């Protein structure tokens, strides 16, 4: 029997995250969205109660939570405020390549840094001319003796302005396409420049910046995994982080669904609450189904990973469906509110703006469809274990 019954520990963790989202995130969410406020104090509070760096192994100071537990937290973050939630969760994206491909020395240094105090790290893959097509990146890493020298610019970097270190992908073989990409951990120094902070449609409480590396020197040991195998490391990272993104999308959809339900019972037209009209009931029913289905796909993708089973197909299903559903549910929530839904005084227009990015970052919905089609047409076994052969080799300390 398939069973998604949560353990007592997972229930407690979800309650902790929900209470935090209620008391610390929602109370400022719409104000922070309006002003584009950086949630520094909320980040500190989340770190103090253990809601950040959730998958960092215990030996490096983290809680070492399973991926399903991480999804429980990220759904509540999405429900509370996905902009603030993205700021809180982004360390997981930056640190996953370090956990997968870093030497013991690198793991102790950089994962330990996140565990010692509320610090931030950023994942630097996207460039102005290299989004979905990462092989088009122009950032380079050149070996010079016992150092690597990195030059280039990365855009749309979450927490980029506030990060203490970066996971950077760069070309080490310019002519090899995606087979010439390597991954590095790069501490912030005076050669790392913040060129631009983006003014965004939604998730305005999260920082999104352009980060440039100008003759940035790092030790040779800061290479993650094998040289020219960075693309593989990036894809393995996304298999681990897409369930969390899907969970956040479910949280956004759930919030919009709940607001729409409450409003439909209060708003009267033609002498009765609009919840009494079948047209509204059908919209509410479809919203409820999308939230439930998105959550189940998300939990499935996370549980596969927790059981050592390859989840590439499952996490693309989850991320694609949950993101598209979040956009659909929030749009329908605005419709339920009618003209009031289009006004900033009411909560659902923010959720609609926040939902849009879920279809774009960590692989667009179109890229997810390409992954799904490839996996299905290749007839991959959805229950195959994660083979040792596709795991990156850590660099010796």
Q: Which residue has the tokens 């380079």?
A: 140
Helices (H), 63-196: 67-101, 104-106, 112-116
User: Which residues fall within 8 angstroms of residue 302, CB to CB, at 6 or more apart?
Assistant: 66, 67, 68, 70, 71, 243, 247, 311
pLDDT at 49 > cutoff 60: yes
- The CATH code of the domain at 121-229 is 2.40.110.10
Which whole number is the average pLDDT over 336-365?
97
Q: Which of 237, 229, 236, 219 is nearest to 397 (CA)?
A: 219
Domain ranges of the chain: 8-116, 121-229, 231-390
pTM of the model: 0.95
Give the containing element (helix H, strand E) for 269. strand 268-269
CATH superfamily to which 8-116 belongs: Acyl-CoA dehydrogenase/oxidase, N-terminal domain (1.10.540.10)
CA atoms of 366 and 364, how far apart (whole Å): 5
Instruction: Provide the pLDDT confidence category of residue 395 given band limits of 50, 70 and 90.
Output: very low
Instruction: Return the number of other C-beta atoms located less than 10 Å from residue 174's C-beta.
Output: 10
Q: Which of 64, 24, 60 is nearest to 44 (CA)?
A: 24
Which whole number is the average pLDDT over 355-369?
97
Output the CA torsion sign for 305, 85, 323, 358.
negative
% of the chain exceeding 90 in pLDDT? 94
Which pLDDT score, from 0 to 100, does residue 2 have?
Answer: 67
At 283-296, the pLDDT tens digits run 999 999 999 999 99
378 burial type by CB count under 10 A (0-12 exposed, 13-18 middle, 19+ buried): exposed
278 burial type by CB count under 10 A (0-12 exposed, 13-18 middle, 19+ buried): exposed
CA atoms of 162 and 174, how far apart (whole Å): 30
User: Which residues fall within 8 angstroms of residue 11, CB to CB, at 6 or more apart?
Assistant: none
362 catalytic residue (yes or no): yes
Which whole number is the average pLDDT over 261-275?
97
CA atoms of 343 and 237, how far apart (whole Å): 39
At 220-264, the pLDDT tens digits run 999 999 999 999 999 999 999 999 999 999 999 999 999 999 999
Q: Which of 223, 142, 148 is nearest to 392 (CA)?
A: 223
CA atoms of 248 and 253, how far apart (whole Å): 9
* Count of CA atoms in the C-beta half-sphere (13 A) of 261: 11
User: Which residues fall within 8 angstroms of residue 247, CB to CB, at 6 or more apart?
Assistant: 70, 71, 72, 74, 75, 78, 295, 298, 302, 322
* Average pLDDT of the chain, as a whole number: 95
CA atoms of 327 and 148, how far apart (whole Å): 42
Report residue 249 as tokens: 């999308």
Read off the DSSP letter of residue 71.
Answer: H
Question: Number of helices and strands (H, E) in the chain?
Answer: 11, 10
- For helices 278-306 and 67-101, the axis angle rounded to 10 degrees is 40
Which pLDDT score, from 0 to 100, does residue 394 have?
Answer: 46
User: Which residues fall within 8 angstroms of residue 109, CB to CB, at 6 or more apart?
Assistant: none
Judged by DSSP in three states, 137 sits in coil
pLDDT at 391 > cutoff 50: no
Of the residues 362, 375, 384, 393, which is catalytic?
362
Instruction: Provide the pLDDT confidence category of residue 392 given band limits of 50, 70 and 90.
Output: very low
Which pLDDT score, from 0 to 100, does residue 1 have?
Answer: 44
Does domain 231-390 correspond to CATH entry 3.30.1780.10?
Answer: no
């Amino acid at each position: 029997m398939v069973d998604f019954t949560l353990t007592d520990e997972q229930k407690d963790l979800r309650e902790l995250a929900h209470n935090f989202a209620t008391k610390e995130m929602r109370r400022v969410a719409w104000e922070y969205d309006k002003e584009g406020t950086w949630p520094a104090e909320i980040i500190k509070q989340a770190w103090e109660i253990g809601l950040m760096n959730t998958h960092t192994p215990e030996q490096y100071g983290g809680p070492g939570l399973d991926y399903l537990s991480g999804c429980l937290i990220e759904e509540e973050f999405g429900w509370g405020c996905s902009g603030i939630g993205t700021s809180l969760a982004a360390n997981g994206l930056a640190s996953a390549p370090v956990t997968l491909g870093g030497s013991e020395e690198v793991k102790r240094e950089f994962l330990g840094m996140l565990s010692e105090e509320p610090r931030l790290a950023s994942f630097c893959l996207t460039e102005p001319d290299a989004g979905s097509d990462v092989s088009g990146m122009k950032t380079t890493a050149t070996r010079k003796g016992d150092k690597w020298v990195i030059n280039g610019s990365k855009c749309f970097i979450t927490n980029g302005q506030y990060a203490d270190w970066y996971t950077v992908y760069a070309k080490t073989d310019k002519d090899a396409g995606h087979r010439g990409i390597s991954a590095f951990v790069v501490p912030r120094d005076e050669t790392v420049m913040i060129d631009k902070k983006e003014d965004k449609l939604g998730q305005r409480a999260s920082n999104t910046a352009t980060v440039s590396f100008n003759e940035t020197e790092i030790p040779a040991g800061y290479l993650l995994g094998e040289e020219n195998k960075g693309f593989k490391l990036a894809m393995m990272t996304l298999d681990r982080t897409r369930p969390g993104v899907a969970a956040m999308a479910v949280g956004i959809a759930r919030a919009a669904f709940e607001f729409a339900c409450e409003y439909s019972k209060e708003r009267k037209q033609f002498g009765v609450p609009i919840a009494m009209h079948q047209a509204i009931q059908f919209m509410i029913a479809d919203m409820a189904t999308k939230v439930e289905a998105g959550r189940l796909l998300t939990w499935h993708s996370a549980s596969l990973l927790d059981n050592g089973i390859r989840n590439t197909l499952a996490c693309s299903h989850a991320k694609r469906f949950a993101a598209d559903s979040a956009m659909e549910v929030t749009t329908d929530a605005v419709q339920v509110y009618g003209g009031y839904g289009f006004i900033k005084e009411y909560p659902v227009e923010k959720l609609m703006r926040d939902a849009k990015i879920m279809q774009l970052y960590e692989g667009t919905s179109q890229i997810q469809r390409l992954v799904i089609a490839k996996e299905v047409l290749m007839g991959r076994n959805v229950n195959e274990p994660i083979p040792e052969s596709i795991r990156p080799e850590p660099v010796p300390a």
